[in-house]
């Protein structure tokens, strides 16, 4: 390829502030230089759309049979990139108007707004021509040759090096459309390589509705964009296999998604979107980036590769694309999140996603439980961090319980239907795992009266329950509450056998207090225990009990506050200890047994932090005594 040579018949000076303006456009509004190609392809697509609309009613145009397409040609040796289209084209006056708009009418306003920060630029940066000037991020010189669709208009050429002036030429161009010839800077030579152009097109402009060809030195031009935007099709016309294929191309995940959501709407906001819930959280080595967010398009042109502003953070596991014609195509794409349309898009997408997940839960429980297993922790985070989402997310929560065991799940709605007639609250117990939680002494009286208790074994579950507080008008209560308000007659179940005499039991309580000291807040008789000898309950002013499991994981030096130790006066272990104190108060096994009672409870809770060596030694002492 050779560059055109011509003598300018007109040179025009930009105003004094244009150099500063071009610096802003080239260096401040874009985070990545490759977006210049996105801008030029977007402008070419707009030109093709305009001529396509024109030809609906006007057949007297230049080259009426020309294919509506965009061609990219490169010459690596001369660092030249050419972008040409068969769009609406421009005559000399339109070149000046469109490529000089900022220079002649908007520069001062633009710069005044630029001084106020990015947010104030919204009204000016959308002007035609601003995106074009991003080419000077990579170009030493740019030449634009264009011929209008009007048969009577002559072709013209515009040239600039991005400084304070541009030149106009007469041109010899027989076909309709625009050709942009870019002399690349030395440090932008990568954009003269075919593979680099193809990667940028695939990333930013893959779904432009017109074909984009890469012209090689030999052979036929090769199309490099897919063109068919699946999200802009009617959901009824898309096969399930097409969604799966698109998901795999989008994410490089070999597995099919658990769920897809296809949203097409024009009000209250224009939106075309396809969202996916992956089948697993970790997707292997081909998962190229740990970043999250949806791909945001406007008119099938990529605006943001990872937009985090389209869904709440707790849905960050969702993949997909969103396209809205209500979003402007301009250089403010890096700050598009400030656009009010984004809030409407977020609301529409979030509501539809929750609706589809709820429908999945109702119609395909097995598949929903797969989703819950992978992403339940994210939904819990939504309950914690998004108070406005609690009502919609509460239906999606799943728990094991004292009724379901470890092999099944329940939702809160199902729990409510199984509540006892006099039961006013939803009860839960915190634990480290299902096995130990199921053996919690707190469950004694609940089992005796067939009152269901939810097992909360995820470290954030306690925090989530404290934030949720209620469901369907029923408060959520932790069963370790020292003053738990149980249903009527729920505390009258007692184990067989006589209770320890009051005087002996009082001596035992005093001995517990003396031996355990500050390890417990108090020791007293329990009114709730049936089968277990003791339990630990939180005091009324212990507001952080629901956060203790989470804090133990997050804080290396965290020490849980002391709890109240309650003793079951009728349990054989307690009765025997009380008798032993009366008969042989100096027996060393008494204090060892008292220490072991507390450590057993701490082990069940997962909060034991003492010496394991001391614990084992004590257990061996007690075992030896039992075997005598």
Residue-level pLDDT at 115: 55
Mean predicted confidence (pLDDT) in 346-371: 96
| CA separation for the pair 481, 185 (Å, rounded) | 71
Please determine, for residue 111, whether its predicted confidence score (pLDDT) is greater than 70.
no
Please determine, for residue 23, whether its predicted confidence score (pLDDT) is greater than 90.
no
Helix, strand, coil share of the chain (percent; to 5): 40, 20, 40
How confident is residue 19, by pLDDT bands cut at 50, 70 and 90? low
What's the predicted TM-score (pTM) here? 0.73
How confident is residue 521, by pLDDT bands cut at 50, 70 and 90? very high
Task: Let me know whether 413 and 508 are in one domain.
Answer: no
Mean predicted confidence (pLDDT) in 140-152: 95
State how many domains the chain has: 4
CATH number at residue 415: 3.40.50.11260
Contact criterion met (CB below 8 Å) for 292 and 311: no
Count CB neighbours of 284 within 10 A.
10
Better-predicted residue by pLDDT, 258 or 338: 258
Distance, C-alpha 386 to centroid of its chain: 13
Task: Let me know whether 216 and 237 are in one domain.
Answer: no
Residue-level pLDDT at 285: 39
205-223: pLDDT as tens digits: 888 889 999 997 666 899 9
Task: Let me know whether 343 and 400 are in one domain.
Answer: no
How confident is residue 284, by pLDDT bands cut at 50, 70 and 90? very low
- When mean pLDDT is compared over 10-19, 36-45, 214-223, the highest value belongs to 36-45
**Residue 355 Cα distances to 259, 310, 342, 358, angstroms:** 12, 16, 20, 5
237-251: pLDDT as tens digits: 999 999 998 898 788
Residue-level pLDDT at 130: 57
Mean confidence (pLDDT) of the chain: 85
Task: Let me know whether 240 and 382 are in one domain.
Answer: no
Task: Indicate whether 290 belongs to any domain.
Answer: yes
Task: Let me know whether 219 and 234 are in one domain.
Answer: no
Task: Indicate whether 422 belongs to any domain.
Answer: yes
Task: Note down the domain range covering 169.
Answer: 10-223
Residue-level pLDDT at 597: 96
Better-predicted residue by pLDDT, 29 or 241: 241
Q: In sequence order, which ranges of 517-611 are alpha helices (DSSP H)?
A: 548-554, 572-583, 588-605
Contact criterion met (CB below 8 Å) for 210 and 68: yes
Task: Let me know whether 44 and 145 are in one domain.
Answer: yes
Residue-level pLDDT at 496: 60
CATH number at residue 573: 1.20.120.790
Cβ-proximal residues to 417 (8 Å cutoff; 6+ apart), any chain:
none
Task: Indicate whether 550 belongs to any domain.
Answer: no
Task: Let me know whether 94 and 176 are in one domain.
Answer: yes
Task: Indicate whether 78 belongs to any domain.
Answer: yes
Task: Let me know whether 526 and 466 are in one domain.
Answer: no
Residue-level pLDDT at 330: 56
Residue-level pLDDT at 487: 63
294-353: pLDDT as tens digits: 999 887 777 787 889 999 999 999 999 999 988 876 534 556 667 788 999 999 999 999
**Residue 410 Cα distances to 57, 404, 413, 456, angstroms:** 63, 7, 8, 12
Task: Indicate whether 490 belongs to any domain.
Answer: no
Last residue of a domain, one of 174, 203, 223: 223
Residue-level pLDDT at 126: 35
Cβ-proximal residues to 72 (8 Å cutoff; 6+ apart), any chain:
81, 82, 83, 197, 201, 212, 213, 214, 215, 224
How confident is residue 534, by pLDDT bands cut at 50, 70 and 90? very high
Residue found by looking up tokens 């989402």 in the block:
389
Task: Let me know whether 217 and 234 are in one domain.
Answer: no
CATH number at residue 347: 3.30.230.80
Task: Let me know whether 414 and 463 are in one domain.
Answer: yes
Residue-level pLDDT at 20: 66
Measured torsion, CA atoms of residues 46, 47, 48, 49, in degrees rounded to the nearest 10: 50
| CA separation for the pair 175, 96 (Å, rounded) | 20
Distance, C-alpha 423 to centroid of its chain: 38
Q: What is the DSSP string of 251-309?
A: H--SSPPSEEEEEEE-SSS-EEEEEEE-S-S---TT---S---EEEEETTEEEEEEESS
Task: Let me know whether 128 and 164 are in one domain.
Answer: yes
Last residue of a domain, one of 196, 223, 250: 223
Task: Indicate whether 489 belongs to any domain.
Answer: no
Task: Let me know whether 121 and 216 are in one domain.
Answer: yes
Last residue of a domain, one of 188, 223, 258: 223
Task: Indicate whether 380 belongs to any domain.
Answer: yes
Task: Indicate whether 102 belongs to any domain.
Answer: yes
């Amino acid at each position: 390829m050779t560059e055109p040579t011509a003598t300018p018949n007109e040179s025009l000076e930009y105003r004094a502030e244009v150099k500063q303006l071009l610096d802003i456009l080239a260096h401040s509004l874009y985070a990545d230089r490759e977006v210049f190609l996105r801008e030029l392809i977007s402008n070419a697509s707009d030109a093709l759309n305009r001529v396509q609309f024109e030809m609906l009613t006007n057949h007297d145009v230049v080259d009426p049979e020309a294919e509506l397409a965009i061609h990219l040609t490169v010459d690596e040796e001369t660092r030249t990139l050419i972008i040409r289209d068969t769009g609406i084209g421009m005559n000399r006056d339109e070149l000046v108007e469109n490529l000089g708009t900022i220079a002649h009418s908007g520069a001062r306003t633009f710069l005044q707004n630029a001084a106020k920060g990015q947010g104030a630029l919204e009204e000016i940066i959308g002007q035609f021509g601003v995106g074009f000037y991003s080419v000077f991020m990579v170009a030493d010189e740019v030449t634009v040759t264009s011929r209008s669709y009007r048969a009577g208009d002559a072709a013209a050429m515009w040239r600039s090096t991005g400084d304070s002036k541009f030149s106009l030429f007469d041109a010899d161009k027989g076909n309709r459309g625009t050709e942009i010839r870019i002399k690349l800077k030395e440090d932008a030579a990568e954009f003269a390589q075919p593979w680099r152009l193809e990667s940028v097109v695939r990333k930013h402009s893959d779904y432009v509705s017109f074909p984009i060809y890469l012209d090689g030195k030999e052979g036929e031009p090769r199309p490099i964009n897919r063109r068919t935007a699946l999200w802009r099709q009617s959901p009824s016309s898309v096969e399930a296999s097409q969604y799966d294929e698109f998901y795999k191309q989008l994410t490089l995940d070999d597995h099919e998604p658990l769920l897809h959501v296809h949203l097409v709407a024009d009000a209250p906001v224009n939106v075309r979107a396809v969202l996916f819930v992956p089948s697993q959280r970790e997707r292997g080595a081909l998962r190229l980036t740990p970043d999250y967010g949806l791909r945001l398009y406007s008119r099938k042109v990529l605006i943001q590769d990872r937009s985090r502003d389209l869904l709440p953070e707790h849905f960050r596991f969702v993949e997909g694309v969103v396209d809205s014609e209500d979003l402007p195509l301009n250089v403010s794409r890096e700050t598009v999140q400030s656009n009010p349309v984004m809030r409407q898009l977020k609301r529409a997408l979030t509501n539809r996603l929750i609706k589809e997940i709820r429908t999945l839960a109702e119609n395909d429980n097995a598949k929903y439980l797969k989703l819950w297993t992978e992403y339940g922790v994210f939904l819990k985070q939504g309950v914690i961090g998004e108070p406005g989402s609690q009502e919609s997310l509460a239906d999606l929560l799943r728990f094991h319980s004292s009724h379901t065991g470890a092999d099944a799940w329940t939702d809160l709605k199902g729990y409510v239907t199984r509540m006892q007639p006099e039961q006013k609250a939803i009860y839960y117990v915190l634990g480290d795992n299902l096995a130990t939680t199921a053996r919690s002494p707190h469950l004694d009286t609940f089992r005796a009266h067939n009152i269901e208790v939810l097992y909360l074994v995820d470290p954030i579950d306690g925090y989530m329950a404290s934030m949720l507080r209620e469901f369907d008008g029923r408060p959520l209560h932790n069963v370790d509450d020292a003053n738990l308000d149980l249903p009527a007659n729920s505390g009258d179940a007692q184990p067989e056998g006589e209770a320890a005499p009051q005087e002996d039991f009082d001596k035992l309580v005093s001995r517990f207090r003396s031996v355990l000291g500050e390890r417990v807040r108090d020791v007293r008789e329990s009114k709730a225990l049936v089968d277990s000898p003791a339990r630990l309950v939180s005091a009324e002013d212990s507001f952080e009990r629901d956060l203790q499991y989470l804090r133990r994981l997050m804080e290396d030096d965290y020490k849980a506050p002391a709890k109240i130790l309650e003793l079951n006066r009728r349990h054989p272990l307690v009765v025997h200890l009380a008798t032993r104190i009366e008969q042989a108060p100096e027996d060393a096994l008494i204090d060892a047994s008292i220490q072991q009672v507390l450590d057993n409870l701490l082990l069940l809770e997962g909060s034991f932090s003492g010496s394991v060596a001391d614990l084992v030694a004590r257990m061996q002492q007690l075992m030896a005594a039992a075997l005598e």
